[in-house]
Chain A
Amino acid sequence: MAHRAVALGPLRWTGTAAAVLVVALVLGTLAAVASRAGSGAALASADVAAVLFTLQQAAVSAVLSVALAVPVARALARRRFAGRRALVALMGAPFILPVIVAVFGLLAIFGRGGLLNAGLGALGLGPVSVYGFGGVVLANVFFNLPLATRLILQGWSAIPAERFRLAATLNAPVGRLLERPMLRDVLPGAALAIFLICLASFAVALILGGGPRATTVEVAIFQALRFDFDPAKAALLALVQVALCTVAAGLAGLVTVPAAFGPGLDRVPARWDGRGRGARLADGAAIALAAAFLLAPLAMVVAQGFVGLGQLPLQVWPAALRSLAVALSASVLAVGLALAMALRGGALVQVAGVLPLASSALVMGTGLFVLSHGWLDPGHIALPATALVNAAASLPFAFRALAPAVGRIEAAHGPLADTLGLTGWPRLRWLYLPRLRGELGFAAGLSAALSVGDLGVITLFAGPDSATLPLVMYRLMGSYRLQAAAGVALMLLAMALAVFWAFDRGGRGHAAA
C-alpha cells in the first residue's frame, strides 16, 4: 500500500499521530501509574486465578454469543417483516446501556426475585439461581449477542444476491454452498472480537458472579489501587491485561475479522430457500427468543424507571447537559481519531485500534491524574478527561466501522481520484467524507451513545458540581435512593438511544448512491 501513502499525503501523518496518541494514552497512563511508589510485587496466586477466570469467562462468553447469534442472524437475513429495521436497531440497545442498569434489568427477569422464577414458582417448580459462572456468562451474552448478530448478519448481507439466484436455479443447498463457507470465514473473527471485549469484562457484571471465584483482573487492579494503594502492582496487572489483549488481537490478525461493523443492514435479498414450514418456524422462534431475551430486561428498566421519574433530583438536568457535551466531544474525538487511523491503514493502526479494549479505565484515569497533577486543577479537566477516556473506549468500534469502508472506497474510486491528482485534504473532502457519511454517522452515534452511559473516569476528577448523569445515578444508588436512580437509568437509556438515532440518521440522510 505504498500507493496509499502517496495518495494521502500529509493525511498519513495525521493517521500516524492519531495511532501514536492512542498507544501513548494506553501505555503512557500505565507508565505514569507505574512510576508511583509501590511494591511492584510479582503476581500473587490470587492474581493468577483472576487471570485464568478472566480468560475462561471471555472464551465461554465469546463462543456462546456467536453460537446463539448464528440462527438469529440467519433468520434476520432471510425474513422480511414489519418492524424488522426497528428490531435490529433496538436489539443493539444492551450494547450501549450502562452496565449496572443492564444488570438490574437482567435480574428483574432472571434473578431470585425475577419474573422467570416467579413463573416457575407458579408452576410449582423450584427456583433457578442465576448467580455464579453462568450469571457472568449470561450478562456477557446479553451485552454481546447484538454485536455478534450484527457481525454475522453483515456476512450474510455480503453474499451477493446473484449467488442465491444461482443456487436457486441449480436447486443447490444454500446452506452448504453459500452459508457454511461464509460462516467459516466470519465466525472465528466475530468470536475473537467478543473475546477481546469480554477480557476487560465490566467489573460490575461480577455482581452476578456469586463470589470471589468470579474475580477478574480488573477487580485485582481496583483492589491494588484503592485498598492497597500499590500503583506499581496495579500497573503490572494492567500490563498483563494489555498483553492478553495484544495476543488475542494478534490471533485476530491471523483469522479474518469480519469485514465490517457498520450501518446498512436493511436490505434483504430475495431468497428462494428456507420456505418450508420448519424453516419459517425456526426463524420465527430464533427472532422471538432473541428479542425476548434482549428486550425483556430493557422493558423492566423502562418500567422501573417510570416510577422513579417523579423523584428525579434537580441536578439531573445540568448533569444531562454535561453528559451530552461529554458524549458529543468524545464522539467527535473518537471518530476523528478512528478516521485518521482508518485512512492510514497498516499494522500500527491495527494494534492501536484494539488496544483501548484492553485498557482499564481506572488505570487510564489514574494515569491521567498523575500526569496532570501539579499543573492542572483536576476539577477543571474532569469533563475533558472523561471525554478523552470515553473516546478511547469507543475508538475500537468506530475504527472497525470505518476501516473496511475505506478499503471499499479505495478499491472502487481510488483510481479515478488518483488520475485526478486528488491527494491529501481534497481527497478527504471530495471522496472519503462524502462516501463515508453513513459509516461516520454510525460510528459517531455509537461513540456518543457509549459515552452517555459510561461512568468513565469522572469519579477520579469531579467535584460535586461537575457530575455527569451516570455519576448522579451512582450517587443516588449510594444514598439509598434506588427509585430515583432507576429514573436516571431510564433517562440514560433514552439519551443513549436518542443520540445514536440522531447521528445514524444524519449519516443516512441524502445518502445518494
Chain B
Amino acid sequence: MKKILTLASVAGLCLIAQAAVADTPVLTVYTYDSFAADWGPGPQIKSGFEETCGCTVKFVTAGDGAALLSRLELEGAAGRADVAVGLDTSLIARARETGLFATSGVGESYDMPVAWDDPVFVPFDWGYFAFVANKGAPEVHSFKELAASNIKIVIEDPRSSTPGLGLLLWVKKAYGDGAAKIWADLADNIVTVTPGWDQAYGLFLNGEADAVLSYSTSPAYHLIAENDPSKVAWTFDEGQYMQIEVAARMAASKQPDLAQKFLAYLVSDKAQAVIPTTNWMYPVVMPKEGLPKGFEMPVAPDKALLMSPDEAAAARDGALEEWRTALSR
C-alpha cells in the first residue's frame, strides 16, 4: 500500500515539476496527437521556432482535428491556447462559427491546386484522399469502376473521422444528386466501416481488404520510412478530393504577436521542409530542395476537388443521410 502511494505521488511530483514555470514566455500550441509525437513534425518545428522567438513552445494535444476543435469549444474564451494547429477544411465552417479565432495576419502565396485567401485560417499542409492498395493487384480508376468490381475496400465512418467525411464529400462533389446511387453500388465492395483512419489502415495492412481510403501520400511513407515500394495510390477520373490542414491563432491569446510569428514560421521554408516526411502530406510552400521521392503529384491541379467550407457544411447532413441509408440496406 505504501509503495502504491509512493508511486502515485512520484507520478504527481513529476507532473508538477514538468509544469514549473520558466522565465521565458510560453507559447501554448494546441494540436493533434500525431503532430506533436516524437516522429511527427512537432519537435522539429518547436526547436526551429524556439531558436528565433526567445520563447518556449508547449504542445497540448487532442486525439485528432475534430477532438481538437471540440476541446477548444469546451474551453471557450477562457482557454489557454495561443495557437491551434491541425483543423481541416471540413471543420473550418464550424470553427469560424465559434468566434474563437483571430485574423492571422499572415499572407503568403501558397503552392496548392486551389487558391487560398482565408484571413483567419492559415494552411500548413495538404493532401489528396485516395484509395491505397498493393501494387500488382487489380486497379480501378473511378468510383463507378470500383462499384462494378469485386474489389474489397475499408472506409472510415464520416461521423467520427475526417477521412471518412472527406470521402463523403468527395462522392457528393463528384456526383451531386447521383451520390446516393454510387453509395448503393459501392455497398457490396465495403468490407467494413471503421471509426478512425488508424483502424482502417491497420485492417488493410493485415490483409483484410484490397484497398483502404487513405491519402495519396501513404505509399511515400512505406517507400521512404520502410523502404517498401509495394503500395500504390489510385487516381480517380472524377478527380481527387483535397484535405487542407490549417492553423489559426486564438482571439483570447495574451501573446498575439508571438502567435502570429509562429503562424508565419509554420509556412516558412524551414518548417515546410519538415512536413513531407513527418506528417506525410504535401507542404503548402514548395521547399527549396523540392519534394522527396514518392511525393510526385498524382493528378493535375485541375483534377483537384474541394468544397468551400460553407458548401461542405451545407452538404454534410444530407450526404450523411444518403450514405447511411445506402449502406444500411
Report yes or no: B327 in contact with A207, Cβ–Cβ below 8 A: no
Q: Mark B203-219, 1 if CB is under 8 A from A, else 0.
A: 10111110000000010
Task: Choose among A108, A229, A373 the residue with the greatest number of B CB atoms under 10 Å from its CB.
Answer: A229
Residue of B with least CB distance to A117? B207
B99 to chain A, nearest CB (A): 13
Does any Cβ of B come within 8 Å of A194's Cβ? no
Does any Cβ of A come within 8 Å of B22's Cβ? no
Stretch of B72-80, B101-109, B232-240, B260-268 that contacts chain A: B72-80
In whole angstroms, how far apart are the Cα atoms of A113 and B207 in the complex? 5
B264 to chain A, nearest CB (A): 23
Report yes or no: B192 in contact with A131, Cβ–Cβ below 8 A: yes
Q: Mark B41-77, 1 if CB is under 8 A from A, else 0.
A: 0100000000000000011111110110111011100
Report yes or no: A226 in contact with B160, Cβ–Cβ below 8 A: yes
Q: Mark A342-374, 1 if CB is under 8 A from B, else 0.
A: 000000000000000000000000100110011
Q: Which residues of B contact A369 (CB under 8 A)?
A: 71, 74
Does any Cβ of A come within 8 Å of B178's Cβ? no
Report yes or no: B39 in contact with A481, Cβ–Cβ below 8 A: yes
A interface residues, tally (CB under 8 Å): 72
Report yes or no: A222 in contact with B195, Cβ–Cβ below 8 A: yes
Q: Mark A289-320, 1 if CB is under 8 A from B, else 0.
A: 00000000000000000000000011100000
In whole angstroms, how far apart are the Cα atoms of A213 and B205 in the complex? 25
Q: A328-B7, A464-B61, A475-B33 are in contact. Are A380 and B209 (CB under 8 A)?
A: no
In whole angstroms, how far apart are the Cα atoms of A51 and B160 in the complex? 18
Does any Cβ of B come within 8 Å of A248's Cβ? no
B240 to chain A, nearest CB (A): 20
In whole angstroms, how far apart are the Cα atoms of A281 and B287 in the complex? 71
Task: Choose among A204, A206, A321 the residue with the greatest number of B CB atoms under 10 Å from its CB.
Answer: A206
Within 8 Å by CB of B11, from A112, A322, A378, lies A322
Report yes or no: B197 in contact with A478, Cβ–Cβ below 8 A: yes
Q: A227-B66, A227-B160, A463-B60 are in contact. Are A383 and B7 (CB under 8 A)?
A: no
In whole angstroms, how far apart are the Cα atoms of A366 and B73 in the complex? 12
Report yes or no: A459 in contact with B16, Cβ–Cβ below 8 A: no
Q: Which residues of B contact A325 (CB under 8 A)?
A: 7-8, 10-11
Report yes or no: A373 in contact with B75, Cβ–Cβ below 8 A: yes
Within 8 Å by CB of B195, from A203, A324, A477, lies A203
Residue of B with least CB distance to A378? B60
Q: Which residues of B contact A111 (CB under 8 A)?
A: 203, 206-208
In whole angstroms, how far apart are the Cα atoms of A36 and B70 in the complex? 12
Q: Which residues of B contact A36 (CB under 8 A)?
A: 74
Does any Cβ of A come within 8 Å of B299's Cβ? no
Does any Cβ of A come within 8 Å of B328's Cβ? yes
Within 8 Å by CB of A459, from B63, B94, B199, lies B63
In whole angstroms, how far apart are the Cα atoms of A148 and B129 in the complex? 44
B169 to chain A, nearest CB (A): 13
Report yes or no: A219 in contact with B159, Cβ–Cβ below 8 A: yes
Tell me the chain B residues, 142-184 only, with Cβ under 8 Å from chain A.
Answer: 152, 157, 159-160, 165
Report yes or no: B70 in contact with A212, Cβ–Cβ below 8 A: no
Q: Which residues of B contact A252 (CB under 8 A)?
A: none
Report yes or no: B199 in contact with A108, Cβ–Cβ below 8 A: no
In whole angstroms, how far apart are the Cα atoms of A478 and B225 in the complex? 15
Report yes or no: A380 in contact with B15, Cβ–Cβ below 8 A: yes
Within 8 Å by CB of A225, from B70, B80, B194, lies B70
In whole angstroms, how far apart are the Cα atoms of A100 and B199 in the complex? 8
Does any Cβ of A come within 8 Å of B221's Cβ? yes
In whole angstroms, how far apart are the Cα atoms of A485 and B62 in the complex? 19
Q: Which residues of B contact A383 (CB under 8 A)?
A: 11-12, 15
B171 to chain A, nearest CB (A): 15
Does any Cβ of A come within 8 Å of B255's Cβ? no
Report yes or no: B37 in contact with A475, Cβ–Cβ below 8 A: yes
Does any Cβ of B come within 8 Å of A474's Cβ? yes
Q: Mark A202-226, 1 if CB is under 8 A from B, else 0.
A: 0110111111110000010011011
Does any Cβ of B come within 8 Å of A462's Cβ? yes
Report yes or no: A112 in contact with B209, Cβ–Cβ below 8 A: yes
Residue of A with least CB distance to B8? A329
Q: A46-B324, A112-B191 are in contact. Are A227 and B15 (CB under 8 A)?
A: no
Q: Which residues of B contact A460 (CB under 8 A)?
A: 62, 67, 71
Report yes or no: B11 in contact with A209, Cβ–Cβ below 8 A: no
Does any Cβ of A come within 8 Å of B190's Cβ? yes
Within 8 Å by CB of A207, from B7, B78, B192, lies B192
Does any Cβ of B come within 8 Å of A171's Cβ? no
Residue of A with least CB distance to B15? A380
Does any Cβ of A come within 8 Å of B201's Cβ? yes
In whole angstroms, how far apart are the Cα atoms of A1 and B207 in the complex? 59
Does any Cβ of B come within 8 Å of A332's Cβ? yes
Q: Which residues of A contact B323 (CB under 8 A)?
A: 212
Report yes or no: B38 in contact with A313, Cβ–Cβ below 8 A: yes
Within 8 Å by CB of A480, from B193, B209, B280, lies B280
In whole angstroms, how far apart are the Cα atoms of A422 and B8 in the complex? 33
Report yes or no: A380 in contact with B74, Cβ–Cβ below 8 A: no
Does any Cβ of A come within 8 Å of B309's Cβ? no
Report yes or no: A373 in contact with B198, Cβ–Cβ below 8 A: no
Report yes or no: B34 in contact with A478, Cβ–Cβ below 8 A: yes
Q: A380-B15, A480-B221 are in contact. Are A210 and B193 (CB under 8 A)?
A: yes
In whole angstroms, how far apart are the Cα atoms of A131 and B188 in the complex? 12
Report yes or no: A462 in contact with B61, Cβ–Cβ below 8 A: yes
Within 8 Å by CB of A373, from B39, B58, B74, B201, lies B74
Q: Mark B294-315, 1 if CB is under 8 A from A, else 0.
A: 0000000000000000000000
Q: Which residues of A contact B37 (CB under 8 A)?
A: 464, 475, 479
Report yes or no: B78 in contact with A379, Cβ–Cβ below 8 A: no
Report yes or no: A477 in contact with B36, Cβ–Cβ below 8 A: no
Does any Cβ of A come within 8 Å of B19's Cβ? yes
Task: Choose among B58, B61, B94 the residue with the greatest number of A CB atoms under 10 Å from its CB.
Answer: B61
Does any Cβ of B come within 8 Å of A266's Cβ? no
In whole angstroms, how far apart are the Cα atoms of A378 and B207 in the complex? 39
In whole angstroms, how far apart are the Cα atoms of A369 and B73 in the complex? 12
In whole angstroms, how far apart are the Cα atoms of A32 and B232 in the complex? 47
Does any Cβ of A come within 8 Å of B113's Cβ? no
Residue of B with least CB distance to A100? B199
Does any Cβ of A come within 8 Å of B202's Cβ? yes
Report yes or no: B70 in contact with A107, Cβ–Cβ below 8 A: no
In whole angstroms, how far apart are the Cα atoms of A104 and B199 in the complex? 9
Q: Which residues of B contact A210 (CB under 8 A)?
A: 190-193
Tell me the chain A residues, 369-399 only, with Cβ under 8 Å from chain B.
Answer: 369-370, 373-374, 377-380, 382-384
Within 8 Å by CB of A374, from B4, B78, B160, B218, lies B78
Residue of A with least CB distance to B65? A226
B194 to chain A, nearest CB (A): 5
A203 to chain B, nearest CB (A): 6
In whole angstroms, how far apart are the Cα atoms of A497 and B196 in the complex? 28
Q: Which residues of A contact B64 (CB under 8 A)?
A: 478
Residue of A with least CB distance to B278? A479
Q: Which residues of A contact B62 (CB under 8 A)?
A: 459-460
Residue of A with least CB distance to B200? A207
Does any Cβ of A come within 8 Å of B256's Cβ? no
In whole angstroms, how far apart are the Cα atoms of A208 and B195 in the complex? 11
In whole angstroms, how far apart are the Cα atoms of A377 and B18 in the complex? 12
**What would 8 more interface pairs be, CB under 8 Å, given A313-B39, A462-B61, A477-B198?**
A36-B74, A49-B328, A211-B328, A227-B159, A227-B160, A315-B38, A379-B60, A479-B34
Q: Which 9 A-B residue pairings sit nearest by Cβ, starting from the closest? A: A113-B207, A477-B198, A325-B11, A223-B159, A464-B36, A478-B198, A459-B63, A226-B66, A211-B327
Q: What are some 16 contacts across the A-B interface (CB < 8 A)? A: A36-B74, A112-B191, A113-B207, A129-B191, A209-B193, A210-B191, A212-B323, A328-B7, A329-B11, A332-B4, A370-B74, A373-B74, A463-B58, A477-B199, A482-B202, A482-B205
